[in-house]
Amino acid sequence: MPKKVFVGKVVSDKMDKTVTVAVTQQYKHPLYKKFIKRVSKFKAHDEENRCKAGDTVRILESRPLSKTKRWIVVDVLKKGA
């Protein structure tokens, strides 16, 4: 089974070696056929503390690293302003 990969925006970098990434997903409502945005927040491991709030990053699913951390930052796609 392949690991999941998401692209999201860093919303918090206040923890050591950990960032919070908000991933926005769109889906169509089954009855009303209108597109709905759903935002999920994931804690991701950032070994070198290179991510800052506002950066766009790619995260990869991994084994549990702590109580809430199950993702790893693969690369920084775009630096925030």
CATH number, domain with residue 38? 2.40.50.140
Containing structural domain, residue 60: 5-78
Consecutive sets of 10 residues in the chain, 81 residues long: mean pLDDT of each? 94 96 97 97 96 96 96 94 67
- Residue 34, pLDDT score: 97
Query: Quick one: CA dihedral 75, 52, 44, 36, positive or negative?
Result: negative
Percent of the chain with pLDDT over 70: 99
Q: What was the pLDDT predicted at 81?
A: 67
Model confidence over 35-49: pLDDT tens digits?
999 999 999 999 999
Instruction: Count up the domains in the chain and report the number.
Output: 1
